[in-house]
Amino acid sequence: MNKKFIFFSLALFFFSSISAQQNPAWQDKNVKNHLVQFSGVVVEGDSLRPVPYASVIVKNTNRGTISDYFGYFSFVAQLMDTIEFTAIGYNSARYIIPDTLTTNNYSLIQVLRTDTVYLKETEVYPWPTKEQFKSAFLALQLPEDDLARAEKNMVRADMKERMIGMANDASFNYLNTMQQYQSKLYYAGQLPPNNLLNPIAWAKFIKAWKNGDFKNKNNKK
């Protein structure tokens, strides 16, 4: 009886130890097969603004997604998955989904820190030497701006030349016709004045002749 009891006890202890070693494996398998709806928001660490189009990928796999314009993401993951968060201009981050979940939904607010890279100042010149830059700078002809063109157009000599060669428009012809008509009405019933006997007109003619006004007009024609 004692030998049978000892043998039965040893056998029970042996099978108990085997089952104890196998239970963690079954538990790990169940944990890995447990699926959860993993959702959350990716935000910036300084301002808590959403980070749009951030990559949310399970490490060493092709599973994952990207956040939308408002930083929101959602996809199916497993317990103990290592989630990697990456975005341009930010430091990458990782998060491991815990294996102690009792529900099929899990939410997370992931914070990403900005990654600022300061580059050295680079000056690009089209001239290889300072001497060539000096020569090109001295020979540079800047285009005229609006003020320079306006001042150039307001020169009195040029304006006078344009006025002489400018044809009469409709309004000026109408004004000239009305003045002639008014002159006829003013001298109606009497003889109009004759400028050949007007000393003031002769004085203006002589002055214009001395100034060369008629000579300039002939040359321009």
pLDDT of residue 9: 45
Amino acid at 96: I
- Whether 1 has a pLDDT exceeding 60, the answer reads no
pLDDT at residue 216 in the model:
55
**Looking at the predicted structure, is the pLDDT value of residue 6 above 70?**
no
What does each C-alpha distance from 220 to 77, 94, 115, 180 come to in angstroms? 92, 87, 74, 28
pLDDT digits (tens, 9 = 90+) for 149-201: 888 778 877 777 777 777 888 888 899 899 888 888 887 888 777 778 788 88
Alpha helices in 67-155, H assignment, sequence order = 130-138, 146-153
Q: Which residues are paired to 105 by β-bridges?
A: 37
Q: For residue 126, give the 3-state DSSP assignment.
A: coil
pLDDT at 30: 52
pLDDT at residue 186 in the model: 82
Q: What is the pLDDT of residue 22?
A: 43
Q: What is the pLDDT of residue 33?
A: 67
pLDDT in tens, 205-217: 888 888 887 775 5
Between β-strands 105-112 and 35-44, what pairing exists: parallel, antiparallel or unpaired?
A: parallel
Give pLDDT tens digits for 25-84: 434 545 556 899 999 999 998 888 999 999 999 998 989 999 999 999 999 999 999 999
pLDDT band at 93 (very low <50, low <70, confident <90, very high): very high
- Between 23 and 158, the higher pLDDT residue: 158
- Residue 32 sits at φ, ψ, to 5 deg, of -70, -30
Task: Give the model's pLDDT for residue 151.
Answer: 80
Q: Domains along the chain?
A: 34-112 (2.60.40.1120), 130-220 (no CATH)
DSSP 8-state assignment for residue 60: T
What average pLDDT does the segment 132-138 reach?
A: 88
Residue type, 78: Q
Tell me the mean pLDDT in the region 109-130: 85
